[in-house]
Structure 1
Amino acid sequence: MTKNNDEVAHVDRLQAVPLYHQLFLQLREEIINGSRAFGSRLPPEQELAETFGVSRITARRALAELADANLVGRKRRVGTHVTYQSPVRPIEGSIEQAMESLITYGRKTQVRILDLDAVPAKMPVTEALGIAAGTPVLRVARVRLLENQPISHLVSYVPAELAGGMDRSSLRSTPMLTLLEQAGVQIGAATQIITASLADASLANLLEVEIGSPILRVSRTVSDTNRRPVQHVVAQFRPDLYQIKLDLHSAVA
């Protein structure tokens, strides 16, 4: 089962991982990736239970686990609110080197297109692309494979007006950044955030790992030379098959 911009994946009752922990993993990912922003209110226990098809006790335990992880705060008669804020620290790097590496990665791996649809943009995509809620974007969900092993799951968003040349055929054979350049986009910069995450039931199935396995999560927004965001992608990698290497150089000659 895959998750798109409007879906919430359900827990997998056939797995040995407790249902409350599966629910915790899904909510944790939504908090870490910004879908549930700082200060936002989580649904009450009964609503979560109905949404995920679990008992209220299970929902309560998942919320308690989020609180224990310092991701949310819980108060009687107030509810559960997100308290997590990402402690991001920037590191400067070469955009040319990064783009070359990404395009090479795209060419050396095989791709499986899971989903390709025009959707109305929501948070955190609206913030990343600097667009209003509801603005049409192309959403592309893919799994990349290396020697027939799934190595990463990627969900990319591109403004609809830049996505005319993107279809299943072109995306299978050509890296998305190359398609953007072919559409006339001049890549100017990118912002990338690298964090650690844990595989929920849906991601574990796609990457063929155990639920709760460590995952390398990369959120990247690419802009053109006029600083207009042209692509936002959330990529989740198996760390046993993928590493990120940074060559850092002194700014002083």
Structure 2
Amino acid sequence: MHSNDKTFSGLVRKWYGCGVALPASPAPVSPAPDPPAWWVALDPGNAAPAYVQLAQGLRQRIESGELAPGSALPAERELAAHLGVSRVTLRQGLSLLEAEGLLRRRRGSGTFVSGPAPASRQLGLLSSFSDEVRAQGGVPGARVLQFARTRPAPQEALSLGLAPGAEVYRLRRLRTSDGEPMAVEQSTLPAALVGPLTPADVTDASLYALLSARQLAPARALRHLRAQNADAELAALLGVEKGAALLTTERVSWLADGRPVEYARACYRGDRSDFVMELRGEGA
């Protein structure tokens, strides 16, 4: 009997005419996968209620950046099952974080991690939306929704002091910060004063910077502030629920020589913006 098989099992077959089953080599053990960023380990021995522990754990992951702004959490039923809590307990924990502005829930879409803290705007400071976003470390954006050279509406003509027959540029833009919708702005500018203007001039650009480049920088402005609820169109544009709270401003801006240069209205997301005013007492 001839064989070139010099392995141990080959020699056994040569000697005894049979095969011997050798112990199989153990399969390599794969490392355990990292838990998802939303995973929270609850401690039964902790005196804090489960929903508080859940909120604390998610808060730490959001503040550390493990759960990035815009991240979506699993559906409530799935998340409750993974964490071993009831949906009532889960909702209590998520509601705490929603009240803090760390989470936002969209009906029919799910629960998402909110972006940075709301940007504060000084009411007494005449600055552009782009400057305010950059001051918060964000990247401003502007998408043109409507653009027209047309006759002014009565309120526009009155605010801008226009003569009969004058024309204006009316532009409506969606303003964003790091791609997230923040406000819908509508600006009306006297066409004869501003000169040629195209939609490309005001796409992802600061209107105040453009005016400054044309020696038309606003020197002062009067701004009214009021509350408003989002209608269906504004809710869709801003990514909020219909009826959500908005901050609406109405502003007229003048040049240093007293000529009106802009009449503007803007609707800001109430959950992503706040306005700050410094007040002084008499004699201060």
TM-score, normalised to structure 1, is 0.57
Contact residue 215 and residue 236 of structure 1 kept, 8 A: yes
Correspondence for 1:112 = 143
Q: What does 1:32-43 align with in structure 2 at a 5 Å threshold? A: none
TM-score, normalised to structure 2, is 0.51
Q: 2:161 aligns with which of 102, 113, 130?
A: 130
Q: 1:147 aligns with which of 175, 178, 185?
A: 178
Q: 1:166 aligns with which of 197, 200, 209?
A: 197
Higher relative contact order (CA 8 A, sep 6+): 1
Distance change in 2, residues 1:217/1:184 (3 Å): same
Cα RMSD after superposing both structures: 2.2
Contact residue 165 and residue 183 of structure 1 kept, 8 A: no
* Aligned-partner Cα distance in 1 for 2:245–2:163: 34
Amino acid at match of 1:197: Q
1:142, distance to aligned residue in structure 2 (A): 0.3
1:237 paired with 2:264, answer no
Amino acid at match of 1:105: E
User: Secondary structure of 1:154's partner?
Assistant: strand
1:166, distance to aligned residue in structure 2 (A): 3.3
1:183 paired with 2:214, answer yes
Amino acid at match of 2:131: T
Between the two proteins, what is the percent identity of the paired residues?
27
1:190, distance to aligned residue in structure 2 (A): 0.3
1:122, distance to aligned residue in structure 2 (A): 0.8
Structure showing greater Rg: 2
Structure 1 segments, 4+ long, off by >6 Å, are none
Correspondence for 2:30 = none
User: Secondary structure of 1:187's partner?
Assistant: coil
Amino acid at match of 1:122: A
1:153, distance to aligned residue in structure 2 (A): 0.2
Q: 1:204 aligns with which of 235, 253, 259?
A: 235
1:182, distance to aligned residue in structure 2 (A): 1.4
Unpaired stretches in structure 1, ≥5 consecutive residues: 1-92
Distance change in 2, residues 1:225/1:237 (3 Å): same
* Aligned-partner Cα distance in 2 for 1:203–1:249: 36
